[in-house]
């Protein structure tokens, strides 16, 4: 008889295993679960070396998994000006002024999270607005969606953006209608112009940012994240953090399609790695965001009748990339927000799947925000995963203005997706949205508009556990609390299945366990 390293007793364990939905206790040996049952059934696993945690009736759920997180961006956002929730351009100017006071002249200032929809002024901030507070420091402030940024005159000069500058493909430089002067607003690929001239943080700064992001993640009850990288540096950071014992979460790496050829040359495929870190999907951006009115819609924006958003690839180019990645054995994660983008992505995936069949591809559409009945049916038929971020329902309160009431019915239709048999996996899109999965669960469960699209709490839990594990081909090793699976668990202050639905967001994470190790514990 072997004994357990760790047992949890006197708990209210929600296993997410339909064969044994509830339990009182669980035993863990090394990094795996060896028993799930009553206190009595756990007893034989205990000897003098076994650590015992008395849960005192607290609720335990499988560790949450976030299927869409920009971890470096998140970490960096924790160290730049947080403009989320600002309600006027004046307030932004005020925050900039405060920052200037602690910043040496000439040093770059970064901020993120503004949303002009919340502004009293109901317009984008301009370079001239920013110049008033920051005449001598280059400033880059990203919109909450990450698809638009506002920069000041100093930054425009450093990037050499003038009246004459043409935007790169898939990007836009806003210009004053009368004078043709750039206003300081850069959209989509035009942001590369500023990225090129911004000083690159050194690797230590980046590592620190990632450590910070991981700590926040486990504090929020996450035991796994699907980590969207921007550059190869992030893979080496993940590896270093792991070697230094500073990687508390499991990582499924989503690699931008720009690196597809390199991965193919190396013979890598989805799934390479181990339970701590592995190569996940190839990530492709098909369109922009609703907030920035760059998400590609079939019909024009209701609040901007001459605009249908923009695709970042031609349909032909998208098809080519999709089949290339699919053929090479990669799982795809394609960002598509507008209904037009979703349709073009479905065409590309349908084409790839009909030409090169693969039994278990688990290709994903990221966001899949504006759908319609036909798109949902096609997603089901192609066995696609909807990788959604329920908290957008709360933040994109203006989505109805963008798409009008008829299409709004089809924005974030989670219940319909689930009912029609599409696997829905959940994430945050952090730092666009907060990392806390309980906020996402509450948003999905307690949405105000279109209550017919509310999902049940247990469905929402699946979205962040079993379904999220499925979305990385790992449902056989995690996502539920059952014998043989990895011991990834979260202890919660309350039971999400029984608290009032508007109180789910207030549930506290008391403890997070990854592979049998306590990686976070509230003191």
Helices (H), ranges, 172-314: 191-195, 203-219, 232-243, 260-266
Give me the helix-helix angle, 315-327 and 339-355, nearest 10°: 40
CB 429 to Zn ion: min, Å: 4
Looking at beta carbons only, is 343 or 429 nearer to Zn ion?
429
Strand order of the β-sheet with 489-492 is 22-23, 12-14, 59-62, 489-492, 509-514, 517-521
Q: Which two tokens stand for residue 510?
A: 């008391």
Q: Least distance from C-beta 227 to Zn ion, angstroms?
A: 11
Alpha-carbon distance of 450 to 406, in angstroms, equals 11
Q: Which stretch binds Zn ion (CB under 5 A): 147-155, 336-344, 427-435, 457-465?
A: 427-435
**Which lies closer to Zn ion via its Cβ, residue 174 or residue 429?**
429
Closest CB to Zn ion among 294 and 512? 294
Contact 408, 450 (CB under 8 A): yes
Cβ burial, residue 462 (10 Å; 0-12/13-18/19+): buried
By the 10 Å C-beta count (0-12 exposed, 13-18 middle, 19+ buried), 85 is classed as exposed
Give the three-class secondary structure for 19: coil
* Interface pick for Zn ion out of 339, 429, 453, 474 (rule CB under 5 A): 429
What is residue 309's DSSP assignment?
Answer: -
Region of 30-38, 125-133, 318-326, 425-433 interacting with Zn ion (CB under 5 A) = 425-433
Task: State the Cα–Cα distance between residues 100 and 6, nearest whole angstrom.
Answer: 51
Measured from the CB atom, the residue of 339 and 429 that comes closer to Zn ion is 429
**CB-based closest residue to Zn ion:** 429
Q: How far is the CB of 225 from Zn ion (least distance, A)?
A: 12
> Based on CB atoms, which residue is closest to Zn ion, 71 or 92?
71
CB of 458 to Zn ion, least distance (A): 26
Nearer to Zn ion, 220 or 430 (CB): 430
Decide whether 58 or 363 has the Cβ nearer to Zn ion.
Answer: 363
- Near Zn ion by CB under 5 A, which window of 99-107, 422-430, 443-451, 489-497? 422-430
C-beta closer to Zn ion: residue 62 or 146: 146
CB of 231 to Zn ion, least distance (A): 15
Span near Zn ion by CB under 5 A; candidates 33-41, 124-132, 403-411, 424-432: 424-432
Residue 261 CB neighbours (<10 A) = 11
Helix (H) or strand (E) holding 319: helix 315-327
Residue closest to 61 by CA, chosen among 502, 499, 360, 396: 499
In Å, the largest CA–CA distance within the chain is 82
User: Which one of the spans 17-25, 288-296, 323-331, 423-431 is the region binding Zn ion (CB under 5 A)?
Assistant: 423-431
Count of residues that interact with Zn ion, criterion CB under 5 A: 1
Q: Which is nearer to Zn ion, 36 or 228 (CB)?
A: 228
Nearer to Zn ion, 146 or 171 (CB): 146
Compute the least distance from the CB of residue 68 to Zn ion, in Å: 6
For the chain, the residue count is: 523
Q: Could you give the CA distance from residue 114 to residue 124 in angstroms, rounded to a whole number?
A: 9
**What is the rounded CA–CA span in Å between residue 105 and residue 178?**
32
| Closest distance to Zn ion from the beta carbon of 49 (Å) | 44
| 211-240 burial: b if 16+ Cβ within 10 Å, else e | bbbbbbbbbbbbbbbbbbbeeeebbebbee
Give the range of 115-123, 306-314, 417-425, 429-437 binding Zn ion by CB under 5 A.
429-437
The residue ranges that bind Zn ion (CB under 5 A) are 429
């Amino acid at each position: 008889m072997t004994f357990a390293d760790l047992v949890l007793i006197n708990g209210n364990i929600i296993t997410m295993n339909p064969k044994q939905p509830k339990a009182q206790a669980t035993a863990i040996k090394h990094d795996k679960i060896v028993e799930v049952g009553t206190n009595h059934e756990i007893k034989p696993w205990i000897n003098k070396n076994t650590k015992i945690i008395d849960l005192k009736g607290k609720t335990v759920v499988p560790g949450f998994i976030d299927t869409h997180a920009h971890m470096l961006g998140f970490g960096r956002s924790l160290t730049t000006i947080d403009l989320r929730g600002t309600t006027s351009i004046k307030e932004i100017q005020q925050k900039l002024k405060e920052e200037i006071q602690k910043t040496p002249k000439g040093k770059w200032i970064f901020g993120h999270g503004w949303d002009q929809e919340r502004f009293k002024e109901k317009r984008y901030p301009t370079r001239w607005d920013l110049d008033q507070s920051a005449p001598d420091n280059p400033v880059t402030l990203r919109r909450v969606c990450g698809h638009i940024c506002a920069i000041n005159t100093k930054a425009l000069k450093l990037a050499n953006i003038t009246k004459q500058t043409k935007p790169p493909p898939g990007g836009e430089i806003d210009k004053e209608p009368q004078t043709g002067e750039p206003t300081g607003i850069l959209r989509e690929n035009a942001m590369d112009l500023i990225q090129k001239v911004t000083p690159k943080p050194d690797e230590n700064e980046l590592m620190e940012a990632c450590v910070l992001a991981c700590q926040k993640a486990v504090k929020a009850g996450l035991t796994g994240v699907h980590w969207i990288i921007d550059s190869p540096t992030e893979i080496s950071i993940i590896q270093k953090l792991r070697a230094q014992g500073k990687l508390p979460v499991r990582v499924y790496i989503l690699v931008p399609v720009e690196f597809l050829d390199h991965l193919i040359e190396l013979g890598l495929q989805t799934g390479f790695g181990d339970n701590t870190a592995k190569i996940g999907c190839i990530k492709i951006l098909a369109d922009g965001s609703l907030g920035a009115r760059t998400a590609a819609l079939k019909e024009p924006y209701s609040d901007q009748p001459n605009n249908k958003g923009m695709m970042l690839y031609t349909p032909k180019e998208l098809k080519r990339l999709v089949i290339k990645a699919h053929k090479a054995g990669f799982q795809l994660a394609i960002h598509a927000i507008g209904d037009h983008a979703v349709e073009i992505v479905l065409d590309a995936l349908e084409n790839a799947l009909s030409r090169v069949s693969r039994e278990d591809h688990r290709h994903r559409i990221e966001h899949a925000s504006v759908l319609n009945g036909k798109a949902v049916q096609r997603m089901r038929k192609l066995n696609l995963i909807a990788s959604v971020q329920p908290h957008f329902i709360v933040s994109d309160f203006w989505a109805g203005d963008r798409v009008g009431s008829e299409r709004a019915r089809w924005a974030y239709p989670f219940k319909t997706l689930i009912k029609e048999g599409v696997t829905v996996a959940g994430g945050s899109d952090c730092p666009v949205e907060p990392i806390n999965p309980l906020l996402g669960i509450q948003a999905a469960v307690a949405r105000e508009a279109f209550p017919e699209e509310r999902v049940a709490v247990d469905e929402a839990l699946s979205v962040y556990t079993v379904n999220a594990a499925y979305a990385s081909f790992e449902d056989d090793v995690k996502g539920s609390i059952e014998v043989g699976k990895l011991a990834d668990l979260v202890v919660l202050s309350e039971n999400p299945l029984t608290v009032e639905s508007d109180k789910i967001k207030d549930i506290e994470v008391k403890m997070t366990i990854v592979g049998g190790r306590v990686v976070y514990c509230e003191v």
